[in-house]
Amino acid sequence: MPSHVKPPTPARTMPGFTFPEDEVVWMKCRATKGCPGNEAKVEMKQKLPTGGTFLKYKCLTCGKGFGITL
């Protein structure tokens, strides 16, 4: 990852908060290089057996999906 790219910050920082599915959040698109999209819909959330959570998003601008592990 290039040094000028920062990891995403959670839309909300309340302890124990989980996103309901189909919620629209402010998230820079990571699916397509150069996409100007700043909103994504939470498609899926899954707790990982090793700890953490996997979130799958869909960009509302380009329509492509991407995932982030927290």
Q: Which amino acid is at 9?
A: T
**CA-based nearest residue to 21, from 4, 1, 39, 46:** 46
pTM over 0.85: no
Selection from 47, 50, 45 nearest residue 11 by Cα: 45
pLDDT tens-digit readout, 15-61 = 455 556 568 888 899 998 899 989 999 888 888 888 888 888 999 99
Residue appearing with tokens 């290089």: 33
d(CA 42, CA 1): 23
Q: Indicate the burial class of 59 (C-beta count within 10 angstroms; 0-12, 13-18, 19 or more).
A: buried
- Residue 70's pLDDT is 87
